[in-house]
Amino acid sequence: MLVALIIASLACNLSGVADTPPDATGTFAAVLTQAGGTAKASLPTQPAASVAPPTGAPPSASSAPSAAPTSAATSTPAPTFTSAPTATQGTVGCVDDGKYVADITIPDGTTFATPAAFTKTWRVQNIGTCTWNTTYSLKFVGGAQLGGPAAIAMPTNVESGATVDLSVSLTSPATQGTYIGQWRLTNAGGSAFGTNGSPLTVSIIVPAPTTPPTVAPTAAPGATLIIPPLILVTIPPLVIIPLGSRASHYAGNWYNNNVNTSGITQLNVTATSTNAISVQGWGACSPTDCVWGTGTGTVSGTTITVSNFSSASGTNVLSVPSSGTLRAVRSGNTYDFHQGPVATDWVGTWTNLAATNNITKIIIGVSGAQLTFHPYGKCSPSDCDWGTKNFAYNNPVSTGASFSHNLSVKIVRANYLEIIDSTVSKTEYYSK
């Protein structure tokens, strides 16, 4: 009986071994669980396999070349600018030229401690012979655009001799640095002109951010209290450029405010560098002004001394007492000038400098915003009166068919008028 029980028990155990194998998976998992740290540390790191895209398939966005990261600049260097000619031939035979007068807002060197929207406004003067209409523009040409537009249209018609304020909406960056943007006057044909070939600029400074005040920490009794060092941040001062400290402040075609002056009648100034000028001069003479030739000068503080006119001796000290005004002191006399020619420079009786059988004289006046022309032609026993007509101010003025002859009337310089009569193919000169 005992033997039978032993045999039966062995049969049950043998049947369990045959029908239910040991849980090998669980046993191996338990081993890995115990040795996981060692196994993970000892396994070599394998690079992820790269899968080439199918031939002809476009690369994924991640495979496209990415732009190089831009580091925070501490300064933005002024871009290289190729100077264009000061004056540009206009689209209708006139000449485009313009002059910087003043920064009305945001002078160069203005500091913005935080990002901010602002409006930059320049005042410029039309010193060419073309009228700027709304096809003319102020165009961004280089440097920091500061979120501004590519160009702004001329806000209104600007006649020769008139000034206009041009404004662009900009935003200061958040990153520390000096930012300089360059803008040029541009005509309808896309040609830049004026400001002696130099751009109008907006220059701002974004200083390094200031460190907020540190709150003194509290320490438990017996602990060491560590106070971080104080960090001082220097903010650059606002830079103000005085009138007369740059050669460009003197540039332009300047007419004496006193049309009856016995001294200097006109100065035509060109900036040849940041602090040097070239000057053409004329003095009062009869029947027309004397040509003094060309002199040069260099900025010294806020004045320029010109003493080397080729045909006139004497020292001339130039300054800019206010925007749009030039002053010359010569032999103890002071002469003030304005940019021109303007309408009042035309006023007077202009007499032909030579004997003629055509126009003997022309009387010019101002009526509101227009010029009044009253020419006389050669007749016997007295000159023929051609009548009086009004014309919009320009230089030159084309009369069209308003008179019996088609005339183009132009101020060449102070006290020197040119009339081209295309009806009889004559060009004649007049003084007043």
**Residue found by looking up tokens 């961004």 in the block:** 140
Based on its alpha-carbon atoms, the radius of gyration of the chain, rounded to whole angstroms, reads 41
What does the pLDDT look like over 161-203, one tens digit per residue?
999 999 999 999 989 899 999 999 999 888 999 988 889 999 9
Q: What pLDDT, on the 0 to 100 scale, is given for residue 340?
A: 84
- Asked if residue 312 belongs to a domain, the reply is yes
Distance of alpha carbon 309 from its chain centroid, rounded?
Answer: 33
334 and 364 in a single domain? The answer is no
Q: Which residue has the higher pLDDT, 267 or 223?
A: 267
Among 295, 319, 339, which residue terminates a domain?
A: 339
Which tokens is 265 given?
């009648």
Could you tell me which residues come within 8 angstroms of residue 136 by beta carbon, excluding any fewer than 6 positions away? 153, 154, 158, 185, 186, 187, 188
Among 275, 305, 339, which residue terminates a domain?
A: 339
C-alpha 309/C-alpha 299 separation (Å) is: 17
Q: Are strands 407-413 and 316-319 parallel, antiparallel or unpaired?
A: unpaired
Q: Which residue has the higher pLDDT, 411 or 90?
A: 411
Percent of the chain with pLDDT over 90: 58
Q: What pLDDT, on the 0 to 100 scale, is given for residue 60?
A: 38
Q: Which residue has the higher pLDDT, 360 or 28?
A: 360
Average pLDDT over residues 233-237: 77
Per DSSP, the chain holds a count of helices (H) and strands (E) of 2, 28
Q: What pLDDT, on the 0 to 100 scale, is given for residue 230?
A: 82
187 and 253 in a single domain? The answer is no
* Listed residue (319, 282, 281) closest to 300, CA to CA: 319
- Asked if residue 140 belongs to a domain, the reply is yes
* Listed residue (90, 159, 166) closest to 342, CA to CA: 159
Which tokens is 336 given?
């003030």
Which residues are bridge partners to 363 per DSSP?
349, 374
325 and 408 in a single domain? The answer is no
Q: What pLDDT, on the 0 to 100 scale, is given for residue 218?
A: 61
C-alpha 319/C-alpha 327 separation (Å) is: 5
Q: What pLDDT, on the 0 to 100 scale, is given for residue 323?
A: 83
The CATH number assigned to the domain holding 183 equals 2.60.40.10
- The answer to whether the beta carbons of residues 431 and 423 sit under 8 Å apart is no
| pLDDT grade for 232, boundaries at 50, 70 and 90 | confident
Average pLDDT over residues 392-409: 92
Which tokens is 150 given?
């590519």
- Asked if residue 294 belongs to a domain, the reply is yes
Which tokens is 193 given?
């002109």
103 and 191 in a single domain? The answer is yes
Cis ω for the linkage preceding 381 (within 30 of 0): yes
103 and 183 in a single domain? The answer is yes
- The answer to whether the beta carbons of residues 411 and 417 sit under 8 Å apart is yes
Which tokens is 168 given?
């662009």
Q: Which amino acid is at 81?
A: F
Average pLDDT over residues 257-267: 92
- Asked if residue 372 belongs to a domain, the reply is yes
- Asked if residue 227 belongs to a domain, the reply is no
- Asked if residue 28 belongs to a domain, the reply is no
C-alpha 302/C-alpha 242 separation (Å) is: 7
Which tokens is 34 given?
């115990």
326 and 408 in a single domain? The answer is no
Which residues are bridge partners to 99 per DSSP?
125
- Both ends of the chain: CA-CA distance in Å? 158
| Average pLDDT in the chain | 80
Average pLDDT over residues 403-418: 93
Q: Which residue has the higher pLDDT, 351 or 86?
A: 351
Q: What pLDDT, on the 0 to 100 scale, is given for residue 220?
A: 67
C-alpha 36/C-alpha 116 separation (Å) is: 57
Residue 61 in 3-state DSSP?
A: helix
C-alpha 290/C-alpha 414 separation (Å) is: 11
363 and 327 in a single domain? The answer is no
The CATH number assigned to the domain holding 425 equals 2.40.128.20
| pLDDT grade for 211, boundaries at 50, 70 and 90 | low
Average pLDDT over residues 153-165: 94
Q: What pLDDT, on the 0 to 100 scale, is given for residue 227?
A: 76
Q: Which residue has the higher pLDDT, 204 or 230?
A: 204
Q: What pLDDT, on the 0 to 100 scale, is given for residue 423?
A: 95
109 and 142 in a single domain? The answer is yes
Among 149, 177, 206, which residue terminates a domain?
A: 206
| pLDDT grade for 219, boundaries at 50, 70 and 90 | low
- Asked if residue 211 belongs to a domain, the reply is no
355 and 425 in a single domain? The answer is yes
Residue 13 has pLDDT above 90, yes or no: no
What does the pLDDT look like over 99-137, one tens digit per residue?
999 999 999 989 998 889 999 999 999 999 999 999 999
Q: What pLDDT, on the 0 to 100 scale, is given for residue 198?
A: 86
Structural domain harbouring 170: 88-206
Q: What pLDDT, on the 0 to 100 scale, is given for residue 226?
A: 75
371 and 351 in a single domain? The answer is yes
C-alpha 244/C-alpha 322 separation (Å) is: 9
Residue 138 has pLDDT above 90, yes or no: yes
Q: What pLDDT, on the 0 to 100 scale, is given for residue 32?
A: 32
Cis ω for the linkage preceding 396 (within 30 of 0): yes
The region of weakest confidence among 289-293, 303-307, 393-397 is 393-397
386 and 319 in a single domain? The answer is no
User: How many distinct structural domains can be found in the chain?
Assistant: 3
- The answer to whether the beta carbons of residues 268 and 286 sit under 8 Å apart is no
Q: What pLDDT, on the 0 to 100 scale, is given for residue 153?
A: 94
- Asked if residue 71 belongs to a domain, the reply is no
Average pLDDT over residues 21-38: 37
| pLDDT grade for 45, boundaries at 50, 70 and 90 | very low
Residue 49 in 3-state DSSP?
A: coil
The region of weakest confidence among 93-102, 203-212, 319-328, 380-389 is 203-212
Distance of alpha carbon 127 from its chain centroid, rounded?
Answer: 18
307 and 403 in a single domain? The answer is no
| pLDDT grade for 278, boundaries at 50, 70 and 90 | very high
